[in-house]
Structure 1
Amino acid sequence: MGSPKLKVDRTIHGAVLLAALVPAFADAQTAPADANPNAWRYSLSVYGYLPNFGGQVDSVTSPGGPGFQANVGQFSDSQKFGFMGSFSAGKGNWGAFSDYLNLNLASAKPYSPDFSLGGGAISSSTATDFSLKGSVWTLGGEYRVMSDPVLTLDLLAGARMFAMKPTLRWNVLGDSGSLQPVSRVGGSAGTDTQWDGIFGLKGRYVVGNNGRWSLPFYFDAGTGQSHLTYQAAAGVSYSYSSIELTAMWRYLSYDMKSGGPIDNLHFNGPMVGATVRW
């Protein structure tokens, strides 16, 4: 029998930290054209990301345990933050970058009427908790194909690792029908790690006469252990001396091959943060 599916379609709400941290997202802002192109250049970014996330996750149960199916689209939301940052280095037209994103997303719903366990619907209320923990690590190289005071453009290639652990816990309250007592309280968890090759581009368009304001953008897509992965980001940044403040919208999507605990996932939301260049 095919494994049951866990539907995930939810929104993560939260206040953006005032001291907020965001990116040059894999140096997504792309460094401006340098007066000395042969000098080494570096950037370090820290950022906060508040995504909505959705998708479909296969249930994974212990041997002999009951399969489950639940719609968690109406869960109340909460989010915890992990470390998020990126680093890049370059000389001349060549460069390299690394971007690390740690996610700790959680939701809880005191009473879930849309829950089935062991192949049958549960008519009574069910307390459920869902969490999604893991990390996304992108690393690669880049080559600048356009270097202009107004527009810079880099081509990039590299790899991305996706490691996630979805977990669902339930507690059946009241009449559970024919469900065995041992199954009234339980949980299910699975892990999935994928490596994919990626190709893409990034750049920035400078607006205004003083060059402080710019519009950064980023896109990549690839495949490998997953069927397809892609991400895009765009926003606005303001530079002052060697420090740059940025606000962007970032979308990351994964479509997995069959056989793993995760079928597909996507993350969509704002990022804010700061970049230091030297």
Structure 2
Amino acid sequence: MASIPSEQPNWALQISPYMWAAGLNGDISPFRRGPTIGVEKSFSDVLDNLNFGGFVNVWGRYGRFVFSGDIMYVDTTDSHGVGPLPPFRLPGGIVLPAGTRGDATVDTKQFTATLQGGYRVVDRPGFTLDALAGARFWHISNDVMLTLGLGGSSVTRSYGESFGWVDPVVGARAFFPVTEKLSLQAQVDIGGFDAGSKLTWSALATVNYTFSDRVSASAGYKVLDVHYDRGGHVYDARLSGPVLGMTYRF
């Protein structure tokens, strides 16, 4: 995740796969106009439910023009009790009365990609600053199995649904060499502005250590926050936790 110092050649490209020990906190509706579920999970809770997760950061520069990309994919399966629920209609036409309780298993796949381009507004040996603008793409898919008590018996229904949106974002990225091998980096962005979500923002700060001209390691902390409530879908969530990554430079 560490940028190339300004004294490097006129072009640069690097790829940084990383691990993100993120916890989750927020309110989520797994399907359109369904009940909104409050979620508060530590990283260990998320890890228990994790089927697969992948994270990669890409950064490039040509002269003063820069590119930043961050891609994440997470697949989780979560089972928990639900209720008492407000009255609502299940797929298939069954109307559940208020106070219904039951169990739910939710298989969630989330893909998020933040792509930004920009310009290096400050380019000094001891400090660089990039101004960025672009978009954050979201796609969330939920497969839900509900088993609900209904009049002394139970009813089970399975339902799959996906939704997505695009948020415009603006941001900045700063890089501070501390020594020849040690550096600090910070990147922030904010967006949404009711074009997709009401608001989204992210922040990443890392300490970086360079092993060679091509390889470095980074450790830090990342937060990704979004407030989406549109068309009966709710995804109001914050993911936050430490990150650990390796960077390979071309």
Report how many residues are paired: 234
TM-score of the pair, normalised by structure 1:
0.74
Aligned pairs (5 A) from 1:135-154: 135-154=111-130
Matched, 1:195 2:127: no
Matched, 1:93 2:69: no
Q: Partners of 2:162 and 2:150 in 1: how far apart?
A: 31
Aligned pairs (5 A) from 1:82-231: 82-109=53-80, 112=81, 114-116=83-85, 118-122=96-100, 126-172=102-148, 176=149, 178=151, 181=153, 184-207=155-178, 210-223=179-192, 224-231=195-202
Task: Report how far residue 68 of structure 1 moved.
Answer: 4.9
8 Å CA contact retained: 1:199, 1:221: yes
8 Å CA contact retained: 2:27, 2:37: no
Task: Report how far residue 133 of structure 1 moved.
Answer: 1.1
Task: Report how far residue 177 of structure 1 moved.
Answer: 5.1
Matched, 1:40 2:11: yes
Q: Partners of 2:123 and 2:211 in 1: how far apart?
A: 21
8 Å CA contact retained: 1:257, 1:263: yes
Q: Partners of 2:217 and 2:18 in 1: how far apart?
A: 10
Q: Who is 1:258 aligned against?
A: 230
Amino acid at match of 2:63: G
Provide, for residues 50-102 of structure 1, a one-character-per-residue CA deviation record: whole Å limited to 9, x for no partner. 2111322235379xxxx556555589542233332132321211122322111
Q: RMSD in angstroms over aligned alpha carbons?
A: 2.7
Task: Report how far residue 148 of structure 1 moved.
Answer: 2.4
Amino acid at match of 1:222: G
Provide, for residues 180-220 of structure 1, a one-character-per-residue CA deviation record: whole Å limited to 9, x for no partner. x5x6222444322111211110112222xx42111111100
Amino acid at match of 2:240: N
8 Å CA contact retained: 1:58, 1:261: yes
Amino acid at match of 1:87: V
Q: Who is 1:18 aligned against?
A: none
Gaps of 5+ in 1: 1-23
More strand by share: 2
TM-score of the pair, normalised by structure 2:
0.81
Q: Who is 1:238 aligned against?
A: 209
Q: Partners of 2:184 and 2:131 in 1: how far apart?
A: 17
Question: Residues 131 and 55 from structure 1, CA distance in 2 versus in 1: closer, same or farther, beyond 3 angstroms?
Answer: farther
Q: Partners of 1:234 and 1:122 in 2: how far apart?
A: 45
Task: Report how far residue 274 of structure 1 moved.
Answer: 0.6
8 Å CA contact retained: 2:216, 2:246: yes
Could you tell me the percent identity over the aligned residues?
A: 23
8 Å CA contact retained: 2:110, 2:140: yes
